[in-house]
A and B are shown apart, each in its own frame.
Chain A
Amino acid sequence: SAVISQKPSRDICQRGTSLTIQCQVDSQVTMMFWYRQQPGQSLTLIATANQGSEATYESGFVIDKFPISRPNLTFSTLTVSNMSPEDSSIYLCSVVFANVLTFGAGSRLTVL
């Protein structure tokens, strides 16, 4: 199975700042995916990150708020911009491996 590493694992941020989350996969993958899990809630797909092209965002998520980079086949970043307390969530990077969506440990952000 794929091993997915995320950094930071958790952070406390101030309102109005931005934070970039990194995701590293131990094998080359065409697509990487970013999910959000708000406190006590289920998971929602934010966007799909393809290497060499712009990310594809789901309804309700925009590039200005969640810019994504995908510089190579093993790495992606998600930036949460101009954060507000409503952005406090766990952000999870994921890849499909053997037809199964596999997740990293997540990055738990708290915005004060």
Chain B
Amino acid sequence: AQKVTQAQTEISVVEKEDVTLDCVYETRDTTYYLFWYKQPPSGELVFLIRRNSFDEQNEISGRYSWNFQKSTSSFNFTITASQVVDSAVYFCALTQEGYDYKLSFGAGTTVTVRA
């Protein structure tokens, strides 16, 4: 069985602060994929990143960065110098190889960035 845990329900920060979202996963598969999605107040889910289980290299995309640590089954997400537009619910998700469509989502973390 697969499980994704996002222990932080809500995070509130002031603009320009950094914020890190935790994601811990459980799976018995050796090949799996991890995702982060953003859901702004408009409701649409926006894909942020896909990472396979064999690629532990951290990734940076603008103000976003991801830290994948297989040893601790974690795939954490950091927003640097947060902005009001970053206010959203962020979901971490997991799927096994060959099941790109069947994601196990975490409960989500609501990030509020105050001006």
Interface residues of A (CB under 8 A from B): 31, 33, 41-45, 48, 90, 92, 94, 96, 99-106, 108
Contact = CB atoms under 8 A, between A and B. Distances in A.
Interface string B31-54: 001010000001111010010000
Given A42-B91, A42-B108, A101 B44 contact: no
B25 interface: no
* Majority secondary structure of chain A interface residues (helix, strand, loop or mixed): strand
A103 B44 contact: yes
Contact of B106 (A33, A42, A103, A108): A42
B13 interface: no
Interface of B: 33, 35, 42-45, 47, 50, 91, 100-103, 105-108
Contacts of A100: 35, 47, 50, 100
Contacts of B91: 42-43
Contact of A90 (B43, B47, B107): B43
A100 B47 CA distance: 8
A105 B47 CA distance: 12
A94 B103 CA distance: 11
A88 to B, nearest CB: 14
Nearest to B102: A45
Contacts of A104: 44
A108 B103 contact: no
27 contacts: A31-B101, A33-B101, A41-B107, A42-B91, A42-B105, A42-B106, A42-B107, A42-B108, A43-B103, A43-B105, A45-B101, A45-B102, A45-B103, A90-B43, A92-B45, A94-B101, A99-B100, A100-B47, A100-B50, A100-B100, A101-B35, A101-B101, A101-B103, A103-B45, A105-B42, A105-B43, A106-B43
B44 A105 contact: yes
Nearest to A33: B101
Contacts of A44: 105
